[in-house]
């Protein structure tokens, strides 16, 4: 797995193939391991998937792991690899980071595909019923710290429709052997823009929402499945995307997937991305 020095730390990443780059960004509490079946199945072009700073095999500097911190290290990683004319594929917070990077670097982006990601700030009432009380608890000082100690072991398997293999769960758990090492997971969970908080994340999401609505020249692809455990993209949220994102195409699959769609439906995601990317690249 290649590694690149980034700012004061290092970022590991998967790197397959050559040609025009497609970058796959994971969310919380996963790593580039999330894309292990997707990258080879896409088959064409250069496919890269970094471990976000503090996550997976990447370095764990002594920072606050705010959204801005993640974006700063990701910016430096894109620049270190001199990536341009990029197609971005994002899941969960990886989708949010993809939107954010694209909104700030529109001349370097060819298209954005996303699944189960943070598309807008939400009221507590808009958030799916199953996760509302969970996130209220996570955002409660003291309670959230205790809960996140067992998040991977107990929470991650509860957000997939297909039982996870022990070796895959172990791959996700291995980078977080201590309480301190799990700080990025807690900070990501507490960053969910709910009820106007945290204000800095709400502002960041509102900024990329303005860009998503205003730029039809960057094609966008939303990949959705029949809802499974922990699904965030409700019908109302999908409708919001259709109404507010310029240049959006929606691919709807009959298969069931929980929130971690690349765990449940990697082949379908790869096929959708490959077909759409070929059209996007061919339209240049």
Catalytic annotation present for 92 = yes
CA 27 to chain centroid, in Å, comes to: 4
Catalytic annotation present for 264 = no
Ramachandran sector of residue 277 (left: φ over 0; alpha: ψ -120 to 50; beta: rest): alpha
**Catalytic site residue from 92, 100, 209, 264:** 92
**CA 2, CA 133: separation in Å to the nearest integer?**
40
Rg, Å, the chain Cα set: 17
CA 151 to chain centroid, in Å, comes to: 17
Measured CA to CA in angstroms, residue 125 lies from 45, 115, 128, 174, 262 at distances of 42, 21, 8, 35, 27
Question: Is residue 33 a contact partner of residue 49, using CB atoms and an 8 Å limit?
Answer: no
**CA 216, CA 245: separation in Å to the nearest integer?**
8
**Catalytic site residue from 51, 100, 116, 209:** 116
Give the pairing type, strands 9-16 and 3-6: antiparallel
Catalytic annotation present for 116 = yes
**Catalytic site residue from 259, 260, 263, 264:** 259
Tell me the catalytic residues.
Answer: 92, 116, 259
């Amino acid at each position: 797995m290649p590694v690149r020095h980034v700012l004061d730390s290092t970022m590991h990443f998967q790197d397959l193939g050559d040609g025009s780059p497609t970058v796959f960004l994971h969310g919380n509490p996963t790593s580039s391991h999330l894309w292990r079946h997707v990258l080879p199945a896409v088959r064409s072009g250069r496919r890269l998937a970094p471990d976000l700073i503090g996550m997976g095999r990447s370095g764990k500097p002594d920072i606050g792991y705010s959204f801005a911190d993640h974006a700063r290290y990701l910016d430096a990683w894109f620049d270190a690899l001199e990536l341009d004319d990029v197609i971005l594929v994002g899941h969960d917070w990886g989708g949010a980071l993809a939107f954010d990077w694209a909104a700030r670097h529109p001349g370097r982006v060819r298209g954005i595909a996303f699944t189960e990601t943070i598309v807008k700030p939400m009221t507590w009432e808009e958030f799916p019923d199953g996760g509302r009380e969970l996130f209220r608890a996570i955002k409660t000082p003291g309670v959230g710290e205790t809960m996140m100690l067992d998040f991977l072991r107990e929470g991650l398997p509860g957000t997939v429709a297909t039982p996870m293999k022990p070796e895959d769960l172990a791959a996700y758990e291995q980078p977080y052997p201590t309480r301190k090492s799990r700080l990025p997971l807690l900070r990501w969970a507490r960053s969910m823009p709910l009820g106007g908080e945290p204000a800095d994340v709400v502002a960041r999401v509102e900024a990329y929402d303005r860009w998503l609505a205003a730029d039809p020249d960057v094609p966008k692809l939303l990949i959705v499945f029949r809802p499974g455990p922990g699904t965030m993209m409700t019908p109302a949220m999908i409708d919001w995307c259709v109404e507010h994102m310029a240049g959006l195409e929606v691919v709807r699959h009959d298969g069931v997937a929980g929130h971690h769609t690349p765990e449940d439906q990697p082949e379908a995601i790869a096929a959708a991305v490959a077909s759409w990317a070929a059209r996007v690249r061919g339209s240049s």
